[in-house]
A = this chain, B = another copy of it.
Amino acid sequence: MSLLVVGSIALDSVYTPFGETADAPGGSAVFFSAAGAMLHPVQIVGVVGTDYPLGALKALEARGVDLSGVEQAPGESFRWKAKYSYDLASRETLETRLGVFADFRPKLPPKFRDARYLFLGNIDPELQLGVLDQVKQPALVACDTMNYWIHSKRDLLLELLRHIDILMVNDSEARELSGDWNIYRAARWVLERGPKMTVIKQGEHGALLVNHGTVFKVPAYPLQEV
Given contacts A202-B205, A215-B222, contact A87 B182 (CB under 8 A): no
A171 within 8 A of B: yes
Determine how close the nearest CB of chain B comes to the CB of A82; give it in whole angstroms: 13
The reply to whether B86 and A182 form a contact with Cβ atoms under 8 Å apart is no
Complex CA gap A17/B186 in Å reads: 14
The reply to whether A184 and B222 form a contact with Cβ atoms under 8 Å apart is yes
Q: What residue in chain B is nearest A86 (Cβ atoms)?
A: B172
User: Could you say which residues of chain B place their CB within 8 Å of the CB of A185?
Assistant: 224
Interface-centre pick from A86, A173, A175, A222 (highest chain B CB count, 10 A): A86
A162 within 8 A of B: no
- Which residue of B88, B181, B202, B224 is within 8 Å of A175 (Cβ)? B88
- A74-108: CB near B (< 8 Å → 1, else 0) gives 00000000000111111000000000000000000
A176 within 8 A of B: yes
User: Could you say which residues of chain B place their CB within 8 Å of the CB of A224?
Assistant: 182, 184-185
Complex CA gap A147/B85 in Å reads: 11
Complex CA gap A148/B203 in Å reads: 26
The reply to whether B182 and A85 form a contact with Cβ atoms under 8 Å apart is no
- Which residue of B87, B205, B217 is within 8 Å of A90 (Cβ)? B87
State the A residues within 8 Å of B (CB).
16-18, 85-90, 147, 170-173, 175-176, 179-185, 202, 204-205, 215, 217, 219, 222-226
